[in-house]
Amino acid sequence: MREAYIAGVAMTDIGWHERDPHDMGAQVCSEALRDAGLEASQVQGLLSTPHGYMSDTRKMITQRMADYLGMTCGLMLDIDSGGNSTSVAVHIACDRIRLGEIDSCLVFAAQREAPPKQIKNDIIGHFHLIKAANSLYDSYQAAYGVISPLPFYAMAIQRYMYLHGIPAEDIARVAVLLRDHALKHPQAAYKEPLSLEQVLSDKLISPPIHRFESSEMHDGAAAVVLVSRELVRDRGVRVAGMAEAHDPTSFVPYRGEISRFPCVGRAARTALDRAGYDIADIDVAEVYGAFAGMEPMMYEELGFFAPGEAPAAIREGRTTHGGDVLLNPSGGRLSLGHPAYATPLLEFTEVVRQLRGEAGERQRPGAAVGLIHTEQGFINGSIVAVLDREKE
């Protein structure tokens, strides 16, 4: 079967842009195509997502972009599978390329939400957005006024800390480390260093989660160009294996341990098998942890560490520059920033830059195999991709 490659990546700066999402989308689409050395007219597939969870979102976003950039496509799809959406898109693009139906596909996402402060200052004026956020949850969750998954994550993290005897400092340290990583990223949302004391002394927004241990919602856009081997100019990065796995849950599980997420391990093992690698072969990975406490849990579910052992590994420097594996060199969701629908493409962008040797100060020397993990809902479903550098 044919192989699929990533030929181009692009992202905007992450932050609060107040820019029209269509403009941000057009910017990253053209940058990613230039990076791939392709003309817009050569693009045969176009995939995207809504502009946000609470936005008054437009429909048929891909059709509008195809018109705007002049693309004659054989595949077009607006995908809404929560946080996984653009990973699903990349997965579909790879499969269509492998099948030989198309030779190129552009995947993009542009996220723009109403800023949380604006909402808090005018709850009545934004009540339709709050209702939209509330409607993500089922009747038995929504009835309690839940408008974000924050309380569910708080309870999962509480149980994880309880079951493994993890102190608050070990969770706060993750936020500090990811901020250190982000300081090496010129496009990251946060530019100031963060100390352990700052994290621990700030308010508990939903205990045990401190304010700096929760990712904020940001604006931003990213794009990835997937191609068949023939269209790879140079610096091609291969999508060596990809897999998707879901658990029968919607937000907090009604059965079983609420701090375990079996779909993550299933997706990782299948993707690694398909790629022909072991977890120990991974040099660099971008992991979707929207909360500091979820990072060690995800590292463990992916198989980098045994249950309960990631906090010690993080403390010992094994997940940063010079360690066993470089995890979330971009700064992750907490410090690169989290425009949720664009987040998977930001993760792909970082790993591609690492494998091409273009990550500047954040570069892991000689990085050859990378992993991307994304999730949807309350990690009810996960997608894992394994990328490798084309051999010389």
Partner 1 sequence: MDTKPYMQDRAAAEFFSRLERGEFQTTRCRACGETHYPPRVVCPHCLGEDLEWVDLPREGTLIAFTQQTDAIRCRMPDVLGMVELDGIGNLFTRIDAPFEELSIGMKVAFGTWTSLDGVLLHHFHPV
Task: Give whichever of 75 and 142 is closer to partner 1, judged by the CB atom.
Answer: 142
Are the C-beta atoms of 95 and 52 separated by less than 8 Å?
Answer: no
135 contacts partner 1 (rule: CB under 8 A): yes
- For residue 53, give every residue at least 6 positions away whose Cβ sits within 8 Å of its Cβ, in sequence order, or none: 113, 132, 133, 136, 340
> Per-residue DSSP letters for 36-100?
HT--GGG--EEEE--S-SSS---S-HHHHHHHHHT---SEEEE--BTBTHHHHHHHHHHHHHHHT
Task: Give whichever of 147 and 267 is closer to partner 1, judged by the CB atom.
Answer: 147
CB of 162 to partner 1, least distance (A): 5
**Residues 240, 27: Cα–Cα separation, whole Å:** 28
Give the residue, chosen from 66, 252, 302, 384, that forms a contact with partner 1 under the rule CB under 8 A.
Answer: 252
CB of 147 to partner 1, least distance (A): 6
**Residues 173, 177: Cα–Cα separation, whole Å:** 6
Return the residues of window 139-178 that contact partner 1 according to CB under 8 A.
139-148, 150-151, 154-156, 158-159, 162
Give the residue, chosen from 114, 130, 312, 368, that forms a contact with partner 1 under the rule CB under 8 A.
Answer: 130
Region binding partner 1 by CB under 8 A among candidate stretches 37-45, 230-238, 249-257, 331-339: 249-257
CB of 119 to partner 1, least distance (A): 10
Region binding partner 1 by CB under 8 A among candidate stretches 54-62, 129-137, 192-200, 271-279: 129-137
Q: How many CB atoms lie within 10 A of CB 202?
A: 15
CB of 248 to partner 1, least distance (A): 8
**Residues 161, 102: Cα–Cα separation, whole Å:** 47
Using alpha carbons, select from 239, 32, 17 the residue that is nearest to residue 112: 17
**Residues 106, 5: Cα–Cα separation, whole Å:** 12
Task: Give whichever of 159 and 274 is closer to partner 1, judged by the CB atom.
Answer: 159
Give the residue, chosen from 80, 254, 280, 358, that forms a contact with partner 1 under the rule CB under 8 A.
Answer: 254
> Per-residue DSSP letters for 180-247?
HHHTT-TT-S--S---HHHHHHS-EEETTEEGGGBPPB-BEEEEEEEEEGGG--SS-EEEEEEEEEE-
312 contacts partner 1 (rule: CB under 8 A): no
Longest CA span, the chain: 60
Task: Give whichever of 207 and 276 is closer to partner 1, judged by the CB atom.
Answer: 207
253 contacts partner 1 (rule: CB under 8 A): yes
CB of 251 to partner 1, least distance (A): 9
Using alpha carbons, select from 242, 211, 246 the residue that is nearest to residue 226: 242
335 contacts partner 1 (rule: CB under 8 A): no
Using alpha carbons, select from 247, 384, 341, 291 the residue that is nearest to residue 53: 341
Return the residues of window 202-221 that contact partner 1 according to CB under 8 A.
204-209
Q: How many H-runs (helices) and E-runs (strands) does the chain carry?
A: 14, 12
Task: Give whichever of 134 and 270 is closer to partner 1, judged by the CB atom.
Answer: 134
CB of 54 to partner 1, least distance (A): 13
Task: Give whichever of 241 and 253 is closer to partner 1, judged by the CB atom.
Answer: 253
CB of 14 to partner 1, least distance (A): 23
255 contacts partner 1 (rule: CB under 8 A): yes
- For residue 318, give every residue at least 6 positions away whose Cβ sits within 8 Å of its Cβ, in sequence order, or none: 324, 325
Q: How many CB atoms lie within 10 A of CB 59?
A: 8
**Residues 326, 368: Cα–Cα separation, whole Å:** 12
CB of 42 to partner 1, least distance (A): 43
Return the residues of window 270-299 that contact partner 1 according to CB under 8 A.
none
70 contacts partner 1 (rule: CB under 8 A): no
CB of 309 to partner 1, least distance (A): 21
CB of 124 to partner 1, least distance (A): 8
List residues near partner 1 by CB under 8 A. Answer: 120, 123-124, 127, 130-131, 134-135, 137-148, 150-151, 154-156, 158-159, 162, 204-209, 252-256, 258
